[in-house]
Amino acid sequence: TLLEIQGAAKVEKAVLEDQTEGERVEIMVDAVVLATGMVPNVGLMEKLGVEVDESGFVKTDKYQRTSLDGVYAIGNVASEIDLLVVAEAQGTIVAHDAYRRLRGG
């Protein structure tokens, strides 16, 4: 279970709870990808300080980047268009942008 996402200027570390042992585990990361299911739930995003619009959707740019560096949002948390094909396309955009950023581009 994801407990925290840490980092000063960008995402640096994820704190997880091992479901088998119940221990906290910290891992170094460059990005975090969350799949929250079919019902939009922006609660974690709001806790992280990600901007949400007046309709309750996570604000994103054309690359699906949120207001928090290294955090992306796709699907029904980022758009009122509730179609799998839209989420898939957004996921492709995120994958390309994350790859480009991790390669220093």
pLDDT at 41: 77
H or E, element range at 25: strand 24-28
The fold for domain 32-102 equals FAD/NAD(P)-binding domain (3.50.50)
Residues 76 and 40 sit within 8 Å (Cβ to Cβ) = yes
pLDDT at 35: 66
Tell me the mean pLDDT per 10 residues along the chain, length 105: 87 88 90 70 85 92 94 90 89 93 84
Angle at 1 between CA 44 and CA 66, to 5 degrees: 30
Regarding pTM above 0.75, the answer is no
pLDDT at 36: 61
